[in-house]
Amino acid sequence: MGGSPKDEDLPPWRWPEARWRKVVNRVRAGRRLAPDHWPRGAPFAVALSFDSDHETNDLRDGGGSISRQSWGQFGARKGVPRILEILGRHEVPASFYVPAVSALLHPEEQRRAVAEGHEIGIHGWIHELNSTLPYEAERDLMFRSADALEDLTGIRPVGIRTPSWDFSPNTLKIIREMGLAYDSSLMADDDCYELEMDGEPTGVVELPVEWIRDDAVYFGMNRFSGLRPYTSPEAVLDIFRRELAGAAAEGGLFQLTMHPHVIGARSRIWILDEIARLGRSMNAWFATHAEVVAHVKAACPVEP
C-alpha cells in the first residue's frame, strides 16, 4: 500500500517549513560579540592561526600516498620552525590547531610552541570529517584528542577548529559537553559571535574563519586532478593585507588561517613576515584565539 512520503524521503524543495527551519536553526549565529575596545588601547585585533595537519591529510584517507605524507612532513620539518622563527622575531603569539595524531608524531613541536607562548587547540584525531561520523564516534574522537594534547603539553585545550571546518549537527552539542570556550570553524561574521543551537544561546563563542583568509585555497595542489596553485604570493598578500586594513578601519578582528606545509615554502613564508610587520606597524593587538575569546567574553558577557 502506498502512502504519503516521510519528510526525510522528500527532496529539499518539497520540505515543509518546519523541516527546513529545523535544519537552519540547529547551529546559528547569535549575538554579535564585538568589543568597543581592545587591550592596551589597540585599534584592532589580529589572531593568527596555523592548522598543523602534517601527515594526517593523507592518513585520514587511508594513508595511500607516501608523497602526500612527505608533503605533510615538510610542514613539520621546515614549515613550523620557519613560522616559529618569524613569530618570535615579531614577538606575536598565535594558535596552532593540531590533530592528535600529528601531535603524537611530532610531540616536541607542540611543546616548543607552548613554551614560546602559543596556543594549541583541538583539530580532530586524524583530521577526520565530522559530518561522516555517528555521534558516539565523533564524541569519542573529540574527547580523546583533547586528552592527547593535554598529556603532551600539560595544558587542556579550551578551543576547537574542526578538521576541514567540517561541522556536523552534533559538533556543537559535543563542544558544550566538553566545556570548551570557543569554536573557530564557522563563518557567519567577521567578528566573534555567540553560537545558538536549536534557537537557544549556548555561551560558546565563535571566532570565525573564512576561505578568503586561508592560504590553502590559493596554493592547493593535486597532481592527479586539475587542481593547481592559481594565485601568486604577491596577490595572496594583497588579499590578506586588504582584509587586515578592513579590520583596522572597523576596529574589529583580523583572523588568518595558514598551514605549515603550505605557507612554509621559501617563496611564501615572507607573506607571514609581512603580515606580522604590517600589523605591528598599525599597533594591532596580537593574541591567541583563546586570548581574543577571553577578552570578548569579558567585554560582552555571555551566559555559560
Q: Is residue 22 part of a domain?
A: no
Per-residue pLDDT of 143-200, as tens digits, reads: 999 999 999 999 999 999 999 999 999 999 999 999 999 999 999 999 999 999 999 9
C-alpha–C-alpha distance, residues 241 and 279, integer Å = 9
Predicted confidence at residue 304, as pLDDT, reads 65
Q: Is residue 9 part of a domain?
A: no
Predicted confidence at residue 220, as pLDDT, reads 83
Structure confidence at residue 33 as a pLDDT band (50, 70, 90): very high
Q: Which domain holds residue 64?
A: 29-299
- Tell me the pLDDT of the chain averaged across its residues: 95
Per-residue pLDDT of 102-125, as tens digits, reads: 999 999 999 999 999 999 999 999
Q: Is residue 1 part of a domain?
A: no
Q: Is the pLDDT of residue 4 over 70?
A: no
Q: Could you give the angle at which helices 107-115 and 80-90 cross, rounded to 10 degrees?
A: 0
Q: CA 50, 54, 59, 64 torsion: positive or negative?
A: positive
The CATH number of the domain holding residue 151 is: 3.20.20.370
What percent of the chain is modeled with pLDDT above 90? 88
Predicted confidence at residue 7, as pLDDT, reads 67
Range with the poorest average pLDDT among 6-20, 28-42, 161-175, 264-278: 6-20
Q: Is 65 left (phi over 0), alpha (psi -120 to 50) or beta?
A: beta
Predicted confidence at residue 268, as pLDDT, reads 97
Q: Provide the whole-model pTM.
A: 0.94
Structure confidence at residue 250 as a pLDDT band (50, 70, 90): very high
Q: Is residue 203 part of a domain?
A: yes
Our count of domains for the chain comes to 1
Q: Is residue 8 part of a domain?
A: no
β-strands 45-51, 285-286 pairing: parallel
Q: Is residue 56 part of a domain?
A: yes
Q: Is residue 101 part of a domain?
A: yes
Q: Is 184 left (phi over 0), alpha (psi -120 to 50) or beta?
A: beta
Q: Is residue 145 part of a domain?
A: yes
- What does the block give as the cell for 65? 600516498
